[in-house]
């Protein structure tokens, strides 16, 4: 029996959460084409007859601009030291990926004794020549024991990533029950679903300043009643989130409710409210109350 932990790191929007969802076969991490979609570490558990791999999805690594950014950077780097293997994702052809995030991550990975795997994701968006040059560039870095090309949205070569990691896992026992795919509680997943829908519905300048807090969560035999707050930093953004005649907020709520019902397996009554909290991303109290106060 083999069992171990794998840290997934990389820049924002390279497909870390998409890969995690593909590996475990369920949507446990939200996805969107926006930076800062993933804010917390999210553990996804892969099981088969002779192996358990606990994947740790981390926030996209960028230079912090506020206390929330500092928390996210800490969550990304903090997952590496205790990992049995590290998986770094990139999604751009060679010559386009050098920036603060990649350079800093490479420094940390060079110092890591555990095996490092590079995943070149979104290969469907690269020409064969771009992929070849990208592969050769990273092979020459001397950091990675193996390089694998994937298209996580299509499941392409996800099995090869898992097979490679299985060989690297140490002997051990399962850390989680075989039927568990994440250690995150349902309330956390509900918050993430609501935030994902907000990311899809709102303008580019708003999502970074949006957070979700559950006010009421009542489970009954035939229905779950949920009341949640959507926090935004600016008064002008409140109207945008609500939309004309409340249409945008209703759209967020309807889309979120459908996904939450699939998650919980029950009917859901969902109420959403919008509240202005200026500067919450730099407030230790607010970050702590929203679950961003420490890296778990």
- Report how far apart, in Å, the C-alpha atoms of 247 and of each of 40, 241, 254, 257 are: 29, 9, 10, 15
If asked whether residues 148 and 241 sit together in one domain, one would say no
Residue 294 falls within a domain, yes or no?
Answer: no
If asked whether residues 236 and 163 sit together in one domain, one would say no
Residue for token pair 């890969």: 19
Residue 12 falls within a domain, yes or no?
Answer: yes
Residue 176 falls within a domain, yes or no?
Answer: no
pLDDT per residue as tens, the chain (296 positions):
999 999 999 888 889 999 999 999 888 886 766 655 666 788 899 999 999 999 998 887 766 677 777 767 777 778 888 899 999 999 887 665 555 567 778 888 998 999 999 999 999 999 999 999 999 989 988 999 999 999 999 999 999 999 999 999 999 999 999 989 898 889 989 999 998 899 888 876 676 788 999 999 999 988 999 999 999 998 989 999 999 999 999 999 999 999 999 888 899 999 999 999 998 888 888 888 887 765 55
- Report how far apart, in Å, the C-alpha atoms of 259 and of each of 57, 82, 121, 179 are: 21, 33, 26, 21
If asked whether residues 38 and 120 sit together in one domain, one would say yes
Give the number of domains in the chain. Answer: 2
Residue 180 falls within a domain, yes or no?
Answer: no
If asked whether residues 205 and 273 sit together in one domain, one would say yes
Residue 177 falls within a domain, yes or no?
Answer: no
If asked whether residues 131 and 265 sit together in one domain, one would say no
If asked whether residues 191 and 49 sit together in one domain, one would say no
Q: By residue range, what is the domain housing residue 157?
A: 2-168
Is 107 in contact with 98 (CB distance < 8 Å)?
no
If asked whether residues 128 and 195 sit together in one domain, one would say no
Domain boundary among 122, 139, 168: 168
Residue 110 falls within a domain, yes or no?
Answer: yes
Domain boundary among 134, 168, 202: 168
**Helix, strand, coil % in the chain, rounded to nearest 5:** 40, 25, 35
Domain boundary among 114, 133, 168: 168
What token pair was written down for 123? Answer: 């290969």
If asked whether residues 193 and 155 sit together in one domain, one would say no
Residue 175 falls within a domain, yes or no?
Answer: no
CATH number at residue 258: 3.30.300.20
Residue for token pair 């009917």: 267
Residue 224 falls within a domain, yes or no?
Answer: yes
């Amino acid at each position: 029996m083999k069992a171990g932990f794998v840290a997934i790191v990389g820049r924002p929007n390279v497909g870390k959460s998409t890969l995690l969802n593909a590996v475990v076969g369920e949507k446990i991490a939200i996805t969107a084409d926006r930076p800062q979609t993933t804010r917390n570490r999210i553990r996804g558990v892969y099981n088969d007859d002779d192996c358990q791999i606990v994947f740790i999805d981390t926030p996209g690594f960028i230079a912090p601009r506020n206390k929330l950014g500092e928390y996210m950077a800490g969550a990304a780097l903090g997952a590496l030291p205790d990992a049995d293997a590290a998986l770094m994702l990139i999604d751009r052809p060679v010559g386009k990926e050098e920036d603060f995030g990649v350079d800093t991550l490479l420094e940390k990975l060079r110092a890591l004794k555990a095996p490092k795997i590079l995943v070149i994701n979104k290969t469907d968006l690269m020409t064969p020549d771009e992929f070849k040059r990208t592969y050769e560039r990273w092979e020459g870095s001397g950091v990675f024991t193996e390089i694998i090309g994937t298209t996580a949205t299509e499941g392409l070569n996800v099995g090869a990533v898992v097979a490679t990691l299985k060989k690297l896992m140490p002997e051990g026992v399962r850390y989680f029950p075989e039927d568990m795919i994440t250690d995150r509680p349902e309330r956390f997943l509900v918050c993430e679903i609501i935030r994902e829908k907000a990311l899809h519905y709102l303008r580019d300048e708003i999502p970074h300043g949006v957070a979700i807090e559950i006010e009421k969560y009542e489970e009954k035999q035939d229905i779950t009643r949920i009341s949640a707050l959507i926090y935004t930093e600016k008064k002008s953004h409140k109207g945008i989130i609500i939309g004309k005649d409340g249409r945008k907020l209703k759209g967020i709520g309807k889309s979120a409710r459908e996904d939450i019902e699939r998650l919980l397996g029950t009917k859901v009554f969902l109420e959403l409210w919008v509240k202005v909290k200026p500067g919450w991303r730099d407030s230790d109290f607010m970050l702590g109350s929203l679950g961003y106060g420490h890296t778990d």
